[in-house]
Chains A and B, each alone.
Chain A
Amino acid sequence: ILNVEQSPQSLHVQEGDSTNFTCSFPSSNFYALHWYRWETAKSPEALFVMTLNGDEKKKGRISATLNTKEGYSYLYIKGSQPEDSATYLCAPRGGGADGLTFGKGTHLIIQP
């Protein structure tokens, strides 16, 4: 079972501002890092799956970077919109017989 830390726990951001948050995980035995967005009353939605050190992925205004050597990933949201309000979860996966280990998430609220 991996120790996954996400910070901050919650975040209030003004509409139009950009923001970012962090996922920290053990760097040993790394296989992949997943990011999900979970909106209230919906199911978690996959954003990115990253595997290589230095990976950068982008989906619209959302992007993510990965550092497997030091064990962290950043998620960036550019020009936040109200529909970005959600909990953002990261989940590393080790190379052994473990499934995804989810962090507790960053709860993002965009204020109009």
Chain B
Amino acid sequence: KAGVTQTPRYLIKTRGQQVTLSCSPISGHRSVSWYQQTPGQGLQFLFEYFSETQRNKGNFPGRFSGRQFSNSRSEMNVSTLELGDSALYLCASSPSAGATGYTFGSGTRLTVV
């Protein structure tokens, strides 16, 4: 059974650019969540999608957005990148939201220069 796949694994972008990250959940999982991990802040919740609808959103500026497609694949977009957006972005999927454990992908390491 394939795990959660995130692409790309590594990305270097310049301040002011935008970036799109992709996440393919485990087959049959309808819930996809995104997290940002930085050394100082730990894992912080970005947003959660279930059946193409954003169910929850963390405390991040509007530059961070996401969407989920009918096949449950999800993308997150960050516009007007700032140096502080450099982080590991993790995606996690689950059959349902919150009641079962999440399976995490390997993450996308974003560096903004």
Q: Is the interface of B mostly helix, strand, loop or mixed?
A: strand
Would A105 and B42 count as touching, CB distance under 8 A? yes
Contact of A51 among B44, B55, B99 (CB under 8 A): B99
Q: How many residues of chain B are within 8 Å of chain A by beta carbon?
A: 26
Residues facing B in A15-34 (CB within 8 A) are: 31-32, 34
- Tell me, in angstroms, the Cα distance from A93 to B59 when the chains sit together: 15
Residues facing B in A89-105 (CB within 8 A) are: 89, 91, 93, 97-105
Q: Within 8 Å CB of A97, what residues of B?
A: 55-57
Would B100 and A49 count as touching, CB distance under 8 A? yes
Q: In the complex where A49-B99, A51-B99 touch, is A101 in contact with B45 (Cβ < 8 A)?
A: yes
- Tell me, in angstroms, the Cα distance from A99 to B104 when the chains sit together: 14
B66 interface residue (CB < 8 Å to A): no
Contact of A99 among B58, B99, B103 (CB under 8 A): B58
Beta-carbon contacts of B29-53 to A below 8 Å, as 1s and 0s?
A: 0000101000000111101100000
Would B45 and A100 count as touching, CB distance under 8 A? yes
B25 interface residue (CB < 8 Å to A): no
Would B43 and A89 count as touching, CB distance under 8 A? yes
Q: Within 8 Å CB of A32, what residues of B?
A: 98-99
Cβ-closest chain A residue relative to B31: A99
Cβ-closest chain A residue relative to B100: A49
- Tell me, in angstroms, the Cα distance from A34 to B87 when the chains sit together: 23
Q: Can you spell out 23 A-B residue pairs with CB atoms less than 8 angstroms apart?
A: A34-B102, A43-B4, A43-B90, A43-B104, A43-B106, A44-B43, A44-B92, A44-B104, A45-B104, A46-B103, A49-B99, A49-B100, A51-B99, A91-B43, A97-B57, A98-B45, A98-B56, A99-B47, A99-B56, A99-B58, A100-B98, A102-B42, A102-B44
